Structure 1
Amino acid sequence: MRHLPRLALAAVILASLVSTSATASTMYRYKDSNGRMVISNTVPSESTTRGYEILNDKGRVIQVIAPAPTEEELADRDAQKKRKQALEEQRREDAELLRTFSHPDDAVKALRRKLQELESISQLKRGNISVIESQLQEQQSKAADLERSGREVPDNLRNRIDRLRSQILDIEREISAQSQETQSIREAFEDKIERLEKLTGQERTLELNPPTPGSEASDKP
């Protein structure tokens, strides 16, 4: 085995001594489980959660390690974070609302248009039900005539009657779902209009419901 040159060997020894000296000069000050202050070159794991201080070779504090947060502090931090996120989300929603509507009445007009659109769709579906009901009555009348004459009602006629009944039920479900959607839209717009009144400092002058013919005078002056 070849020997290191003297200068290289001296450098290795010096570096080792410096490292050992630096490690030995680092001290820690902490409180033990009984609350007594302790200075040591190590910190027991159970004391790290209570926080501690790192000292230099002159006994001066060079770094403070804060205690681990309690469950209450963690919960408070989480609550503060959620409140901050909620405020930021509210600011974004307010900015978007003001970009869309400059006055509460603009939102009222948009709500009216949407309600009128949904009502037109409902009327169309109710009209479809009336047509199907007429067809159903016709088919049921045929079946009744056959039964009165003592003849058997054919399967295709029974199937036609069942299909028409099913169509009516499907459309009625659609109308019911649309009614719930209409209520949700109305409530969402009411919230927007109320928020716009706060943001703009102006009150709406229009009624929420679309005016019926000849009832335009119901809007506020």
Structure 2
Amino acid sequence: MHKRPTVISATASVLMLSLGMTTLAEAGMYRYTDEDGQIVISNTIPQPATKRGYDILNSNGRVVEVIPPAPTEDEITAREAEKQRQADLAAQREKDAQLLKRFSHPDQAIRAMHRKLDELRGLIQLKRGNISIISSQLDNEQSRAANMERSGQKIPDATLDKIRRLESQIRDIEREISWQTQETDSLIQSFEADVKRLEKVTGEARTLELDPDDTSD
């Protein structure tokens, strides 16, 4: 019955000794260079000195950790620039991988572009034909209205409505043609960029014209 407190006391002593050793180890010193270039060893370190870097010493005076100097603004800028460069390279590698999944040679991209251009230009040509048909109908309605006006007849509201409707249809189709023409230009620019990148990535040169219908090439 009397041995139990002894065990507790011994355990407490070991725990206190352990805590004491930990505290002693943590109670290190700092070695740094002051503003005059002199090496200083102290249990405290001024804030300006931390930017120049310093050493942490244990109770035996041995270096346990080296804290490097804080980076300069130029170094920070250089690091950020390099970080951005690496991110751009990674993004470009991903884009290249996706591009190579679509095309293995520049000529493949050119053929795909030709097919899309043929589709768009076919639609534009079809809509221009529709404009011709509607314009012919509009001319007939306008001529009929003009003849009525010359003969002193009142132009029917139905005729006027039809003229306005035909004019509106022509404007709508012309806008669609304008959008698709812009889409055609954007398509060519996009494929031209892909072809140039494929030439660089694959090391193969194109053998086909980018746009056979473009006489400026």
The answer on whether the counterparts of 1:29 and 1:37 sit within 8 Å (CA) in structure 2 is yes
Aligned residue number for residue 215 of structure 1: none
- Is 2:165 the partner of 1:163? yes
Aligned partners of 1:98 and 1:12: how far apart in 2? Answer: 66
- Is 2:52 the partner of 1:61? no
The answer on whether the counterparts of 1:107 and 1:189 sit within 8 Å (CA) in structure 2 is yes
Q: In structure 2, give the amino acid aligned to 1:75.
A: T
- Is 2:127 the partner of 1:125? yes
Measured after TM superposition, the shift of residue 191 of structure 1 is 2.4
Aligned residue number for residue 90 of structure 2: 88
Unaligned runs of 5+ in 1: 212-221
The answer on whether the counterparts of 1:116 and 1:210 sit within 8 Å (CA) in structure 2 is no
Aligned partners of 1:189 and 1:175: how far apart in 2? Answer: 21
What TM-score results when the alignment is normalised by the length of structure 1?
0.77
Tell me, what secondary structure is at the counterpart of 2:209?
A: coil
Measured after TM superposition, the shift of residue 181 of structure 1 is 1.6
Aligned partners of 1:191 and 1:58: how far apart in 2? Answer: 66
Measured after TM superposition, the shift of residue 64 of structure 1 is 1.6
Give aligned-pair identity as a percent.
54
Tell me, what secondary structure is at the counterpart of 2:66?
A: strand
Measured after TM superposition, the shift of residue 6 of structure 1 is 4.5
The answer on whether the counterparts of 2:56 and 2:64 sit within 8 Å (CA) in structure 1 is yes
The answer on whether the counterparts of 2:26 and 2:58 sit within 8 Å (CA) in structure 1 is no
- Is 2:20 the partner of 1:17? yes
Q: In structure 2, give the amino acid aligned to 1:28.
A: Y
CA 1:51/1:166 → structure 2, altered by over 3 Å: closer, same or farther?
farther
Unaligned runs of 5+ in 2: 1-7
Identify which range, 68-77 or 14-23, moves more after superposition: 14-23
Alignment RMSD (CA, Å): 2.9
CA 1:49/1:150 → structure 2, altered by over 3 Å: closer, same or farther?
farther
Aligned partners of 1:129 and 1:68: how far apart in 2? Answer: 71
What TM-score results when the alignment is normalised by the length of structure 2?
0.78
CA 1:11/1:204 → structure 2, altered by over 3 Å: closer, same or farther?
closer
Q: In structure 2, give the amino acid aligned to 1:116.
A: D
Tell me, what secondary structure is at the counterpart of 1:50?
A: coil
- Is 2:163 the partner of 1:172? no
The answer on whether the counterparts of 1:115 and 1:210 sit within 8 Å (CA) in structure 2 is no
Q: In structure 2, give the amino acid aligned to 1:131.
A: I
Identify which range, 81-90 or 107-116, moves more after superposition: 81-90
1:83-130 Cα offsets, whole Å, 9 max, x none, are: 222222333333333333333222222121111111111111111211
Measured after TM superposition, the shift of residue 18 of structure 1 is 2.9
